Structure 1
Amino acid sequence: MVAGALVDTSLITGLGVRASGPLLCLGDALAGPFGVRLTVTRADLSGVSAAGDFLELHTDLVVTGAGTMVVDRVSWKSVRGVVGRFADVTVARGIALRVLEKRSALLSRRCAELAGARVVVGAAVVRGGRLLAQQRSFPESHAGRWELPGGRVEPGEKPEDALVRECVEELGVPVVVGPQVGPDVPLKRDLVLRIFAAELAGGEPEALEHNAVRWLTADELPSLDWLPADRVLVPALQQLLT
């Protein structure tokens, strides 16, 4: 839950940091106060990192017997002279640490919200070292973009049962559901995306409700035009294929 909450940009946009989308993904650009610019270099189950010319922010997640411990680290490179001293005190020690302190309180509240969130399930269907993706045909804002098969879990329905039902409806094939892949990813304030590994139980997938289906190698995943929530999970999906 914590890993998914960390990629929700609402945790940082309220602190004066601008992001390029609703979720943090590898390669995303961040713009902070005083012209500070960072690039997301990690966003997975282990935590989130961002780095710039002279500043690096790291949030590591450590699983303990009492739960998940969040460890924040800040590092920076000093520029010589007056400018360097100003950057040390004002940016690295001042702004960065204040942002992380405020974000810690927001993270705690966001995790509490997500703990009771409704679930949308997705299937990471793998065959012969390739992952199945499908291209959206609607709504207009999503048309042409790619996602994993799946849909909403109905009241009283188990997530695994919902995934089997959705794959039959969308692809015309049954699947065998495996373990969860990656963290729950926030879609809305009270809605998360949960991905499970899956294998075909028979038949050949068809695009019954989408424009197309496609089998992808691990190297092809980063360049595909994914919907934001699925894009967050690309590192976990690549690991699944290796």
Structure 2
Amino acid sequence: MPDLRATTLVDAPPRTVAAALLDTALLAGSVRGLGVRLAGGPLLHEGAELTGSVGPVTVTLVVTRADTTGVAAELVDGPLPRLALATDLRPTRGGTVVIDSVAWTSPGGPLGGLADVVVGRGLALKVLRARADAVARRSAQLLTARVVVGAAVVRDGLLLAQQRDYPADAAGRWELPGGRVEPGEDDRAAVVRECAEELGVAVTPGEQLGPDVPLRADLLLRVYAAELAGGEPEAKEHRAVRWVPPAEVDTLDWLPADRVLLPALRTLLTP
């Protein structure tokens, strides 16, 4: 089973590089050179399915990891017995080391062995290098992106969520409270202000949760844990608010950006 790796140093912090990796188009572009065409939602998240084709053959990949340590996906349906893609992040003083790897098991017989030699030593390495370059470019874009903050407010082991009322494509779906950081405003100050404006409550923000999440080329989401410090949440700008128990967090119809944070939210809610 071939296992190939390519390593590069990206001049950006791990959370920024992790945000770049969440872009589904980046992963789809990296495997296109292997003849694999993938499509999926705009953002990678744990459990997301990516479907596509290799020539006339249908393939399905499932994302097994998408967090501050990197991303990983495995083939669950396709022409190979096994295909695993992974990008791991290692922080250093000079930036973030990005380790891209691909491992696969070819069909048995002489043709399978020949494919390992030809693809493994040529095309796959070329694809990994191209992916590393794409990650570096996307990370550089996100370094100057504007920030939207979110608040993971917890009380008595329950998570506060709010239901969107508009626009039409988001109506009825759930998200964490928050909003854009104003020019010159600190992230945590924005969390406090947005929770007061949207919910009529006072909160005390803590540490950042999970990776930065790209919303657009020039905009990203950054979520902080927070504790309720005063007031009772009201749906001032949303259809509804509710306190969600840990067992129901995965069942809500979250907006794509918030769904990326579910592993971090589960950890936050674990006693």
Calculate the TM-score normalised by the size of structure 1.
0.92
Pick closer, same or farther for the CA change 1:227–1:206 going to 2, 3 Å. Answer: same
Equivalences for 1:132-171 in 2 at 5 Å? 132-171=160-199
Pick closer, same or farther for the CA change 1:99–1:203 going to 2, 3 Å. Answer: same
Equivalences for 1:212-227 in 2 at 5 Å? 212-227=240-255
* Equivalent of residue 48 in structure 1, options 68, 71, 89: 71
Task: Return the offset for 1:93.
Answer: 5.5
Query: 2:253, 2:116 → 1: CA distance?
Result: 39
Pick closer, same or farther for the CA change 1:59–1:235 going to 2, 3 Å. Answer: same
50-59 vs 102-111, which moves further: 50-59
Q: Show structure 1 runs of 5+ residues with no match.
A: none
Equivalences for 1:167-206 in 2 at 5 Å? 167-206=195-234
Q: Which amino acid in structure 1 is aligned with residue 134 of structure 2?
A: L
Residues 65-121 of structure 1 deviation map (CA, whole Å, 9 limit, x = unaligned): 322211122222232124533553466665544332211101101111100100000
207-216 vs 42-51, which moves further: 207-216
- The answer on whether the counterparts of 2:151 and 2:223 sit within 8 Å (CA) in structure 1 is yes
Residues 137-162 of structure 1 deviation map (CA, whole Å, 9 limit, x = unaligned): 00001000110000011112222111
Q: In structure 2, the residue corresponding to 1:27 is in which secondary structure?
A: coil
Name the % identity. 60
Matched residue, 2:5: none
Matched residue, 2:40: 20
- The answer on whether the counterparts of 2:21 and 2:27 sit within 8 Å (CA) in structure 1 is no
Q: Which amino acid in structure 2 is aligned with residue 24 of structure 1?
A: L
Matched residue, 2:129: 101
Task: Return the offset for 1:29.
Answer: 2.2
Pick closer, same or farther for the CA change 1:91–1:222 going to 2, 3 Å. Answer: farther
Q: Which amino acid in structure 1 is aligned with residue 17 of structure 2?
A: V
Query: 1:66, 1:195 → 2: CA distance?
Result: 25
RMSD: 1.9
- The answer on whether the counterparts of 2:87 and 2:100 sit within 8 Å (CA) in structure 1 is yes
4-13 vs 181-190, which moves further: 4-13
Q: Which amino acid in structure 2 is aligned with residue 117 of structure 1?
A: A
Matched residue, 2:238: 210
Calculate the TM-score normalised by the size of structure 2.
0.83
The aligned length equals 242
Query: 2:251, 2:114 → 1: CA distance?
Result: 39
Higher strand share: 2
Matched residue, 2:9: none
- The answer on whether the counterparts of 1:174 and 1:202 sit within 8 Å (CA) in structure 2 is yes
Q: In structure 2, the residue corresponding to 1:14 is in which secondary structure?
A: helix
Pick closer, same or farther for the CA change 1:215–1:92 going to 2, 3 Å. Answer: farther
- The answer on whether the counterparts of 1:79 and 1:87 sit within 8 Å (CA) in structure 2 is no
Query: 1:239, 1:113 → 2: CA distance?
Result: 29
